[in-house]
Amino acid sequence: MTSSNVRVRMAPSPTGSPHVGLVRTALFNWAFARHHGGTFVFRIEDTDKERSTDESLASIIDLMRWLGLDWDEGPEVGGPHAPYFQSERSDLYADALARLKENSRTYDCYCTNEEAAARRKAAGSKVQGYDGFCRELSEEQVAAFVAEGRKPVVRFRMPDGSITWNDLVRGEVSFETEFVPDFALCRANGDSLYTLVNPVDDALMEITHVLRGEDLLSSTPRQIALYEALIEVGIAKVTPEFGHLPYVMGQGNKKLSKRDPEAHALAYREQGYLPEGLLNYLALLGWAIAADRDIFSLEEMVEAFEIGDVVANPARFDLKKCDAINAAHMRLLSLDDITHRVLPFLKKQGVVSDPVSDADAQLLELAMPLISERINKLAEAGDLLAFLFVDEDAFEVDAEDAEKQIGEAGIPVLQASYDALEGLPAWSTEAIQTALQTALVDGLGLKPRNAFGPVRVAVTGRRISPPLFESLELLGRERSLGRLRRALG
């Protein structure tokens, strides 16, 4: 599977519910790796012990499995660069830090943010952030700080000049290092920070291409500078290439945040989106497979995916289009497949027995053709099918629909229907249709719409249902007539 030395990674922090932005980033990394026959590494960035949770970790793994984005190295599968949890790699970070220190690429800093900010202000500097005050401290100064009880953070010494790289999605990007202050690699308490750990892991894991969100764009010059130092001290071999993916925006003009309901990736599974539908939609946020084509499979995406084709401008998340793409994938499914996928939802909703009985399974197989093109998400099947599976004594007619569709005027219609169906020799869709047509349309002179509405509500309980005659056939004569009788009072 891994026929090239392309190595990419996704490196989520297990803090909270996984975000669709994470899925999009994972997808592009995965597609890039698969397209190039490379390796997709999955690493967990759980350095923030306060916020990382096992629950979040489990949900991310679960999500990736559901999506079908498989990884070559990482949790559950291991790999040559294990462990893949940052919380288990502190020795590696300590070693990296020690080597950088030895090469004077870092220095101890005793300042508080307030002190640095005050100095910046006093100097009239337009630049924000740390001012490099502790870069060249004398022994006396250090002793004085220590005597005050201060504990230092370790900062990286940014080089002078400018840092430029050729971003895989944006082209040449350049920063003057005077605007990128010396940054902390390690807390005063000794904990390594993301700024150190992320590049060190990428280096150790020999990541060749870093594809990540645009929010990390401005931290790239720091990482490139760090990388150069890591190469010096023998930890990194090369600086990876970077590609910054555009934001996924929510309502208004802000990036999709955890507060937006559509941001939560797990919710899509619960609502019955297909993984291929969600992924297809997410792929469209910043990438197009062709000028006149929106629907494609993961395999087709892998085949066509080029990182250079990804656009740089942010994309607004449009749930309606996401639904439409999902619906298109639903229609691509075979009847067997969609039935198979709908079943867990029906069980969960209590529509069918769990484990499913033979009778329910048989009925479901007959009913699915009636609704397979009427649902856009798997979870919607239950609403349409419940009337077929419900026990007669639990069957309920929607009060509002009954009032609208039956009322006073509907009684004769139901009576006529009952009479027409009661003695029907054969209980088939065709016979039912003919009988009702004759009795209601021809007999009572009703428009089809008015004729069948009351029957639909009486028998299925709702104004919206699968096709009526087929529904009646599946329900059976006894239950159908029983429901008509009930509606007649």
Partner RNA sequence: GCCCCCAUCGUCUAGCGGCCCAGGACACCGCCCUUUCACGGCGGGUACGCCGGUUCGAAUCCGGUUGGGGGUGCCA
Residues numbered 138 to 157 that lie near RNA (CB under 7 A) are: 151, 153
Give 149 or 425: the residue with its C-beta nearer to RNA.
149
Residues numbered 106 to 125 that lie near RNA (CB under 7 A) are: 112-113
Among 215, 392, 422, 430, binds RNA (CB under 7 A): 215
Residues numbered 366 to 405 that lie near RNA (CB under 7 A) are: 373-374
Minimum CB separation of residue 216 from RNA in Å reads 6
Give 324 or 411: the residue with its C-beta nearer to RNA.
324
Three-class SS of residue 184?
Answer: strand
Among 341, 463, 477, 486, binds RNA (CB under 7 A): 463
| Residue from 143, 139, 144, 122 nearest 131 by CA | 122
Three-class SS of residue 186?
Answer: strand
Taking the C-alpha atoms of residue 417 and residue 453, their distance in angstroms, rounded to an integer, is 12
Residues numbered 44 to 63 that lie near RNA (CB under 7 A) are: 45, 47-48, 51
Compute, in degrees rounded to 10, the torsion defined by CA atoms 188, 194, 196, 199.
Answer: 180
User: Which region among 88-96, 388-396, 462-470, 477-485 touches RNA (by CB under 7 A)?
Assistant: 462-470
Minimum CB separation of residue 318 from RNA in Å reads 4
Among 4, 128, 357, 362, binds RNA (CB under 7 A): 128
Give 112 or 141: the residue with its C-beta nearer to RNA.
112
The answer to whether the beta carbons of residues 271 and 36 sit under 8 Å apart is no
DSSP 466: S
Among 22, 26, 27, 184, binds RNA (CB under 7 A): 184
Contacts of 473 (CB under 8 A, 6+ apart): 427, 428, 429, 432
Q: Is the peptide bond before 14 cis (omega within 30 degrees of 0)?
A: no
Question: Which residue type sits at 437?
Answer: Q
- Helix H or strand E encompassing 30: helix 20-35
User: Which region among 61-69, 241-249, 348-356, 476-484 touches RNA (by CB under 7 A)?
Assistant: 241-249
Angle between helix axes 429-436 and 410-422 (nearest 10 degrees) is 130
Minimum CB separation of residue 116 from RNA in Å reads 8
Taking the C-alpha atoms of residue 468 and residue 433, their distance in angstroms, rounded to an integer, is 9
Among 468, 474, 481, 484, binds RNA (CB under 7 A): 468
Among 3, 104, 174, 334, binds RNA (CB under 7 A): 174
Residues numbered 245 to 274 that lie near RNA (CB under 7 A) are: 246-247, 249, 253-255
Give 217 or 361: the residue with its C-beta nearer to RNA.
217
For the chain, the helix, strand and coil percentages under 3-state DSSP, each to the nearest 5: 50, 10, 35
Three-class SS of residue 145?
Answer: helix
Q: Is 13 in the site for RNA (CB under 7 A)?
A: yes
Compute, in degrees rounded to 10, the torsion defined by CA atoms 60, 252, 175, 117.
Answer: -90
Give 66 or 179: the residue with its C-beta nearer to RNA.
179
Q: Is 456 in the site for RNA (CB under 7 A)?
A: yes
Give 294 or 347: the residue with its C-beta nearer to RNA.
294
Q: Is 214 in the site for RNA (CB under 7 A)?
A: yes
Per annotation, catalytic residue among 121, 151, 254, 258:
258
Give 237 or 447: the residue with its C-beta nearer to RNA.
447
Residues numbered 310 to 329 that lie near RNA (CB under 7 A) are: 311-316, 318, 320-321, 323-324, 327-328
Minimum CB separation of residue 408 from RNA in Å reads 20
What is the biggest distance separating any 2 CA atoms in the chain, rounded to whole angstroms? Answer: 108
Among 65, 258, 331, 348, binds RNA (CB under 7 A): 331
Q: Is 187 in the site for RNA (CB under 7 A)?
A: yes
Among 65, 237, 293, 340, binds RNA (CB under 7 A): 293
Residue 355, both tokens: 């484990």
Q: Is 193 in the site for RNA (CB under 7 A)?
A: yes
Distances (CA, A) of 209 to 151, 205, 222, 224, 289: 36, 11, 16, 13, 21
Give 228 or 294: the residue with its C-beta nearer to RNA.
294
Q: Is 469 in the site for RNA (CB under 7 A)?
A: yes
151: annotated active-site residue? no
| Residue from 322, 235, 229 nearest 271 by CA | 322
Sign of the alpha-carbon dihedral angle for 14, 15, 17, 20: negative
Size of the site for RNA (CB under 7 A): 84
Name residue, tokens 């220590």: 146
Residue 469, both tokens: 């005659």
Residues numbered 427 to 446 that lie near RNA (CB under 7 A) are: 433
Contacts of 44 (CB under 8 A, 6+ apart): 11, 12, 13, 14, 57, 74, 75, 84, 85, 86, 87
Taking the C-alpha atoms of residue 206 and residue 73, their distance in angstroms, rounded to an integer, is 12
Which residues share a beta bridge with 249? Answer: 255, 316
Q: Binding mask 61-100 vs RNA (x if CB under 7 A, - otherwise)?
A: ----------------------------------------
User: Which region among 76-84, 141-149, 171-179, 199-207 touches RNA (by CB under 7 A)?
Assistant: 171-179
Q: Please provide the size of the chain in residues.
A: 489
Task: Give the active site residues.
Answer: 258
